Amino acid sequence: MNPSTAGACLAAGLALYGNVKTETISGYAEFRRGDTVIVEGQRVLATSTTKVKGAKRIADIPLGYEVKASGQRNASGVLIAQQIEAKANSTGGTEQQVIAASNEAEQTWVKEGMMFEPADSGKITKIGDLLESGPYVTRARRIMDRLRPSYLPASALRVRVVKTDQWNASAMANGAIWVFSGLMDAMDDDELAIVLGHELTHFTHEHVRRQMSKGTVAQILGTGASIATSQIKNSTAQQVAAFGGQLGLSALMTGYSREYEDQADRVGLRYVYEAGFDPTKGPGLWEKFKQKYGETDKITNFFTGDHSRPTERIHNLQRQIQLNYTTPAPPPPKRE
C-alpha cells in the first residue's frame, strides 16, 4: 500500500479540511454529563459558535432525541461540535408492522415455552426451552436494567433466556432481548453486560427498521409468509410462518449490516461504562468468540452478525476504549 492509498483508507467517513478532520456522528442523545451530551456513544460538546438546529441550546435537547453532530475531536476524544441537528424520534408505519410481527413471534415462543424456527422440511427446529424465572433470568434482567438509558422505561424491554449450550443473543424491534444460557455460563457480569449492551443498541437505535426497505417488509409480511405457510404442516410452525415465514424470522432477528453491528459495539460499550461495568473487557470477549467459533462463523449467529469478524471488532473496540474509556466511570447519573 503506498502512502496516498493509506491516507485514503484512514480518511474513510471523514471530510478533510486542511489538517483537521471533521467527523460526523448520527445517533440519539442518551446521557448528559455536565455540558457534554453522549451521542452514538461519543461525548459531544458545544461551543459559543456551534450551530444548533431543533433546540435552542445543546442543553435543551431532550434525551432520546435523534441527533446528528459534526465537528472535530479534541485531544481527549471529545467531539467539539460545529453543527448539531436534533429532532424527536418518530415512529413510521413500517416500524409498526415490524413490531407487530415481532410481538407475534415472541408470543408464540412464550406460549410454547421454547424458541424454535420453521425448517425446510415443514417441521420445526427447536433452539431451546425458554427460562422465565430462576437465576439466569434474574441475572440477565438485573444487568439489563442497569444498562438501560434513562429515557427508556423499564417496561420497554423484556429479557428472556433460552436454555442451550450455544453462545448467542439477539434483539427484536419490539424490545424483546434474547440471550442463550450457554453464553451466560461463559461470561462474567462485565462481559455479559457488553453482550446485552450490544443487543440493547440494536433496539434503541432501531436497526431492524433502518435496515429494512419497504420492499423487504412487504416481502416478509406477504409473499414469504404465504410460501412458508403452505410448506409447513405443523400448526405451531404455521403460526410462526404466519408472522414472517422462513425469510421473515431471520430478518426479524439477525442479518444486521456491518454498519449497524459496529454501531451496536460502539454504543453498547457506552451503556456498559455508564452503568459502572468494565468496557475494557470487550476485546477479550471477542477473543473468546474467536476461540470458540473461529474467525468466520459458518452458522448464522444473531450476535456476531454476518459481516464484522472478531479480529476487526477487537480492533474497533480497542479504538473506542482509547477514545472514551481510559478512566473508570464516575457514579452513574440519576435517572431522569
Residues that bind Zn ion (CB under 5 A): 261, 264, 305
The gap between the terminal CA atoms of the chain, to the nearest Å, is 50
Instruction: Please report how close the Cβ of residue 299 comes to Zn ion at its closest, in angstroms.
Output: 15
Q: Please check whether residue 178 is in contact with residue 201, taking contact to mean a CB–CB distance below 8 angstroms.
A: no
Q: Which is nearer to Zn ion, 86 or 144 (CB)?
A: 144
Could you tell me where the DSSP H helices lie in the chain?
Answer: 3-10, 93-112, 135-147, 181-186, 189-204, 207-211, 214-221, 223-231, 235-243, 245-253, 258-274, 282-293, 310-324
Q: How far is Cα 283 from Cα 285, in angstroms, rounded to an integer?
A: 5
Q: Which is nearer to Zn ion, 259 or 287 (CB)?
A: 259
Instruction: Please report how close the Cβ of residue 335 comes to Zn ion at its closest, in angstroms.
Output: 25
DSSP 279: G
Run of H or E residues at 130: strand 124-131
Q: Please check whether residue 182 is in contact with residue 165, taking contact to mean a CB–CB distance below 8 angstroms.
A: yes
Q: Which is nearer to Zn ion, 193 or 264 (CB)?
A: 264
Q: Which is nearer to Zn ion, 118 or 305 (CB)?
A: 305
Instruction: Please report how close the Cβ of residue 268 comes to Zn ion at its closest, in angstroms.
Output: 9
Q: Which is nearer to Zn ion, 241 or 317 (CB)?
A: 317
Instruction: Please report how close the Cβ of residue 287 comes to Zn ion at its closest, in angstroms.
Output: 18
Instruction: Please report how close the Cβ of residue 256 comes to Zn ion at its closest, in angstroms.
Output: 5
